[in-house]
C-alpha cells in the first residue's frame, strides 16, 4: 500500500521537506499550511546564504546551491540567488586570525577566498571606512536570495511531482494510536497518515505538546532595518558581517539591509502572538537595535545620515545550542520533527529536507543528523528557567561560532 505522509507547515522547511519526499517517490505526500505558503517566519527572512569551510555548513550550502540551480532550470522560476561574496570584517588581530583559519580551509577546498587589508576591503564596498578595520576575509561563495521565491520553487516542483499542497488548511490535532501516528485533524476533518513531519517553525512545539513531546525551542525577536544609503550599492556589492559588532548586512534594492544577532534576545511566546499571525511583524525595537547600529556606523559612517526605510522585527524559533531538531522523537512511531532553525532555515532548508527524506526512506542521512537529535537535551528540557535563559542567549551564539574571541 502507498505510504501516506503529511507535512505540517508550509514555510521554507515544510516546502523543502515535501519536495525531498516527493523527489524520492516515498509515498503520497500532502503538505498542510494554515494560511499561504511562506506566511510564517520565512517571508521576512533576510535570505542570506553564508558559506563557510566547516563540515556542518560547506556540504549543506553547496548542496542547496546545486538544488536551486536544478529547480530553476526545471520550473523556469527564479529564487533571486545572487552570489555576491561576503566580507568578514575584523576590527582586531584576534578576529582576523579566526578568519585566517577559514581562509586556509577555503583554499584547501579550492575556493578562491581572499585575505584583504583594510584598504583592499574598502575597495569592495563603497561605504566601508578602512580606518575602522584591521582587515577582512572575502568569502566568494556567499550571497542572498528571496526566501518566498525559494518556497515557490520547492512547492512548484513538489506539485509537479504529485505532492498535494493544501493552503488555508490548519492542523488542529495530531492523532496517535498505540504509540504510532495514525493521522491528523485538518479544518475539522480527520485524515489518515502513516507518517507526519512537523515543520511548524515557531508553532511546532504547540503541535506536538499533547503527545508528550516537549520541544526545547522557543521564540525570540529577530530584526533588521533597511537603510536608504548614498551612494547606492550595486547588486554585486559583497554582503558583510562583523562578528565583534554582532552585525550583518547586504545590498537591498540599492540600499542596505542591516541586521544584528543581539545578546539577551527578547523572548516571544506563541500564545502572545495574534492568531492568525500570517505575513505579520512585531513592533520596532529600537532600544535593542541601537547598540548594534552604533557599531555598524563606526564601520560604515554613511549609515548615520541614511533614512530608515523599514524596521523588520519577526519572531523566530531558536534552540539552546543553535541547532535544529531533525529526526524522530522517542516514543511515537511515524512522528518526525524538522524545526527550530535558529536563523539558518533558508540556508539549511535543502539539507534538512534531505535528512528527513533519508530517515523516512530508512537510509543513513547524507548530512550528519547527530547534532540535531530531538532528545539531546534530556530532562533539562523541563527546566523552564534554564530553557528561557538558553534560548535568549542563542541568537548571539551564532557569532561566537564564527569567532571564538567574541
Ligand X SMILES: Cc1cc2nc3c(=O)[nH]c(=O)nc-3n(C[C@H](O)[C@H](O)[C@H](O)COP(=O)(O)OP(=O)(O)OC[C@H]3O[C@@H](n4cnc5c(N)ncnc54)[C@H](O)[C@@H]3O)c2cc1C
Q: Which residues contribute to the site for ligand X (CB under 6 A)?
A: 8-14, 32-35, 39-42, 44-48, 170-171, 199-203, 207, 222-224, 312, 314, 316, 339, 341, 343-347
Task: Please state, in angstroms and as integers, the Cα–Cα distance from residue 327 to each residue in 137, 206, 343, following that order.
Answer: 35, 17, 19
The answer for residues whose C-beta is within 8 angstroms of residue 105's C-beta and 6 or more apart is 53, 54
Task: Please state, in angstroms and as integers, the Cα–Cα distance from residue 67 to each residue in 70, 96, 351, 367, 368, following that order.
Answer: 5, 32, 10, 15, 18
Closer by beta carbon to ligand X, 12 or else 387: 12
Closest approach of Cβ 104 to ligand X, in Å? 25
Closest approach of Cβ 31 to ligand X, in Å? 9
Closest approach of Cβ 96 to ligand X, in Å? 24
Closer by beta carbon to ligand X, 103 or else 222: 222
Q: Which residues pair with 148 in a beta bridge?
A: none
Closer by beta carbon to ligand X, 93 or else 209: 209
Closer by beta carbon to ligand X, 125 or else 144: 144
Burial per residue of 366-398, b for 16 or more beta-carbon CB atoms within 10 angstroms, e otherwise: ebebeebebebbeeebeeeeebeebbbbbbbbb
Q: Alpha-carbon distance 306 to 285, whole Å?
A: 18
Closer by beta carbon to ligand X, 319 or else 390: 319
User: How many helices, marked H, and strands, marked E, lie in the chain?
Assistant: 9, 20
Closer by beta carbon to ligand X, 93 or else 253: 253
Burial per residue of 98-107, b for 16 or more beta-carbon CB atoms within 10 angstroms, e otherwise: bbeebbeebe
Q: Alpha-carbon distance 382 to 215, whole Å?
A: 9
Residues 317 and 340: beta-carbon distance below 8 Å: yes
* DSSP secondary structure letters along 339-401: E--TT-TTTTHHHHHHHHHHHHTT---SS--GGG-TTTTGGGGG-HHHHHHHHHHHHHHHHHH
Q: Alpha-carbon distance 257 to 250, whole Å?
A: 5
Closer by beta carbon to ligand X, 148 or else 359: 148
Closer by beta carbon to ligand X, 377 or else 398: 398
Closest approach of Cβ 347 to ligand X, in Å? 4
* DSSP secondary structure letters along 162-214: TPEEE-S--EEEEEEETTEEEEEEETTEEEE-SEEEE--GGGHHHHHGGGT--
Question: CB neighbours (10 Å) of residue 330?
Answer: 10
Closer by beta carbon to ligand X, 118 or else 218: 218
Closest approach of Cβ 345 to ligand X, in Å? 2
Closest approach of Cβ 323 to ligand X, in Å? 12
Closer by beta carbon to ligand X, 184 or else 360: 184
CA 56 to chain centre: 14
Q: Alpha-carbon distance 251 to 238, whole Å?
A: 8
Closest approach of Cβ 172 to ligand X, in Å? 7
Closest approach of Cβ 143 to ligand X, in Å? 11
Closer by beta carbon to ligand X, 30 or else 344: 344
Closest approach of Cβ 176 to ligand X, in Å? 16
Residues 386 and 216: beta-carbon distance below 8 Å: no
Amino acid at each position: 500500500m502507498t505510504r501516506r505522509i503529511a507535512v505540517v507547515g508550509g514555510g521554507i522547511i515544510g516546502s523543502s521537506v515535501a519536495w525531498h519526499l516527493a523527489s524520492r517517490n516515498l509515498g503520497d505526500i500532502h503538505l498542510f499550511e494554515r494560511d499561504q505558503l511562506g506566511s510564517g517566519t520565512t517571508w521576512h527572512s533576510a535570505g542570506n546564504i553564508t558559506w563557510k569551510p566547516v563540515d556542518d555548513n560547506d556540504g549543506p550550502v553547496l548542496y542547496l546551491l546545486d538544488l536551486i540551480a536544478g529547480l530553476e532550470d526545471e520550473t523556469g522560476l527564479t529564487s533571486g540567488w545572487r552570489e555576491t561574496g561576503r566580507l568578514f570584517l575584523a576590527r582586531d588581530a584576534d578576529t582576523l586570525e579566526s578568519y585566517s583559519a577559514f581562509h586556509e580551509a577555503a583554499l584547501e577546498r579550492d575556493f578562491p577566498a581572499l585575505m584583504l587589508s583594510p584598504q583592499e576591503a574598502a575597495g569592495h564596498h563603497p561605504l566601508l571606512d578602512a580606518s575602522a578595520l584591521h582587515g577582512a576575509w572575502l568569502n566568494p561563495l556567499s550571497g542572498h536570495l528571496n526566501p518566498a521565491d525559494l518556497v515557490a520553487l520547492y512547492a512548484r516542483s513538489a506539485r509537479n511531482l504529485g505532492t498535494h499542497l493544501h493552503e488555508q488548511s490548519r492542523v488542529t490535532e495530531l492523532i496517535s494510536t498505540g504509540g504510532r501516528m495514525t493521522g491528523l485533524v485538518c479544518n475539522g476533518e480527520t485524515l489518515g497518515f502513516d507518517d507526519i513531519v512537523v515543520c511548524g517553525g515557531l508553532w511546532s512545539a504547540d503541535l506536538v505538546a499533547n503527545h508528550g513531546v516537549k520541544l526545547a525551542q522557543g521564540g525570540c525577536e529577530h530584526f533588521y532595518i533597511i537603510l536608504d544609503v548614498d551612494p547606492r550599492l550595486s547588486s554585486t556589492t559583497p554582503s558583510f558581517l562583523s562578528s565583534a559588532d554582532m552585525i550583518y548586512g547586504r545590498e537591498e534594492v540599492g540600499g542596505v539591509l542591516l541586521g544584528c544577532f543581539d545578546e539577551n534576545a527578547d523572548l516571544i511566546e506563541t500564545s502572545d502572538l495574534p492568531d492568525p499571525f500570517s505575513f505579520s511583524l512585531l513592533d520596532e525595537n529600537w532600544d535593542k537595535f541601537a547598540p548594534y547600529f552604533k557599531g555598524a556606523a563606526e564601520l560604515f559612517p554613511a549609515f548615520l545620515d541614511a533614512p530608515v526605510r523599514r524596521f523588520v522585527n519577526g519572531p523566530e524559533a531558536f534552540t539552546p545550542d543553535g541547532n535544529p531538531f531533525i529526526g524522530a522523537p522517542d516514543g511515537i512511531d511515524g512522528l518526525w520533527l524538522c524545526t527550530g532553525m535558529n536563523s539558518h532555515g533558508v540556508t539549511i532548508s535543502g539539507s534538512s529536507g534531505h535528512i528527513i527524506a533519508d530517515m523516512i526512506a530508512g537510509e543513513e542521512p547524507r548530512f550528519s543528523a547527530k547534532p540535531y537529535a530531538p532528545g539531546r537535551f534530556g530532562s533539562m528540557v523541563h527546566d523552564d528557567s534554564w530553557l528561557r535563559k538558553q534560548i535568549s542567549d542563542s541568537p548571539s551564539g551564532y557569532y561566537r561560532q564564527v569567532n571564538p574571541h567574541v
